[in-house]
Amino acid sequence: GDSVTQMEGPVTLSEEAFLTINCTYTATGYPSLFWYVQYPGEGLQLLLKATKADDKGSNKGFEATYRKETTSFHLEKGSVQVSDSAVYFCALAASNTGNQFYFGTGTSLTVIP
């Protein structure tokens, strides 16, 4: 079945450090892939998405490239800020009918000044 495996956290970085959060997936066909971010006490917000192989999603300095050959969608940012502290979720749109999503376990990021 479809699934997402996400790098375990928590991750603590100093401001301006480079961020990578690993995400790999298992799916039938060619799923759309997503990164969501959750701030304390809030729901999930879409950060970026990619719908086909080699697509690069980007937003607010974050990037992720859909790699079919390695079934990966790693999240990167060149220089993190304190305001990036949140929980990040990798997700895929399932291969079954409808629009069901599978989420990774989430990675908590804390950026210290």
Partner 1 sequence: KAGVTQTPRYLIKTRGQQVTLSCSPISGHRSVSWYQQTPGQGLQFLFEYFSETQRNKGNFPGRFSGRQFSNSRSEMNVSTLELGDSALYLCASSPPDRGETQYFGPGTRLLVL
- Judged by the rule CB under 8 A, the positions of this chain that interact with partner 1 are 31-32, 34, 36, 42-46, 49, 51, 89, 93-106
Closer of 16 and 60 to partner 1 (Cβ): 60
CB count within 10 Å of CB 72 equals 17
What secondary structure letter does DSSP report for 90? E
Task: Tell me how far, at minimum, the Cβ of 107 lies from partner 1, in Å.
Answer: 11
C-alpha span between 85 and 98 (Å, rounded): 33
- For residues 83 and 110, give the distance between their C-alpha atoms in angstroms, rounded to a whole number: 9
Longest dimension (CA), the chain: 45
State how beta strands 107-112 and 11-14 pair.
parallel
CB 62 to partner 1: min, Å: 16
**Would you say 14 or 100 has its CB closer to partner 1?**
100
Between residues 80 and 94, which has the closer beta carbon with respect to partner 1? Answer: 94
Q: How far is the CB of 110 from partner 1 (least distance, A)?
A: 16
Measure Cα distances from 37 to 54, 68, 75 in Å.
22, 23, 11
Nearest approach, Cβ of residue 32 and partner 1 (Å): 4
Pick 17 or 44: Cβ nearer partner 1: 44
